[in-house]
Amino acid sequence: GSSPGGPAGLQRQASARLHDIDHDTDDESPGVLRRLDIDVLRQMYRRVQSSVLIAIDWDPTALHLRYQSTREKAWVEHSSVSAMAAEASAAVDLNSCLAAFTSEERLEERYHCATCRSAQPATKKLQIWRAPPILIIHLKRFQYVNNKWIKSQKVVNFPFTDFDPTAYLAAVPQETILRYRELCSQRRR
């Protein structure tokens, strides 16, 4: 068999969690973390092709005995943490929301073409055909992150005046757009 500190003991394939904690009941060093094999971390990173999370489940007694001074609780925050927090809390404007809504999206599933009888790549594009006299916008405030839906905390800036939705309308003849703008300017008077 392999030792608990060996590479096989570092990684559990089913749960993708790393385990290498010394479970000895030695009173001087309970819960000591043994070496982490950097090659195992690299292999795991390549497999998931995203960030790697390392979770350490401490025995409460070991945590209390070993890590109670301020020195152990101190950390250095990487500059990317504050950059990500600023990006997550930055406001977006309604124009960027509508541009994303009307942009072409590549579908994961292919559609079956009756002509060539094979699965073909597909895209979809939502279009707004005409603007109503009163535009009511209901924004989806949830996003799918890490296999769950979470509420978005982003602030959306809405223009209350001079909002022109024609850039997001389906392709229509130029004279229709000009006529729409003319009617809007007449209503403002």
117-165 residue pLDDT tens: 899 898 988 888 788 888 888 887 787 888 888 888 788 898 888 888 8
Spatial contact of 172 and 131, defined as CB atoms under 8 Å apart: no
Spatial contact of 103 and 152, defined as CB atoms under 8 Å apart: no
- pTM (2 decimals)? 0.45
Query: Is pLDDT of 52 > 60?
Result: no
Any idea where the domains of the chain sit in the sequence? 7-75, 81-188
b/e code 65-74 from CB counts within 10 Å (16+ = b): ebeeeeeeee
- The type of residue at 58 is W
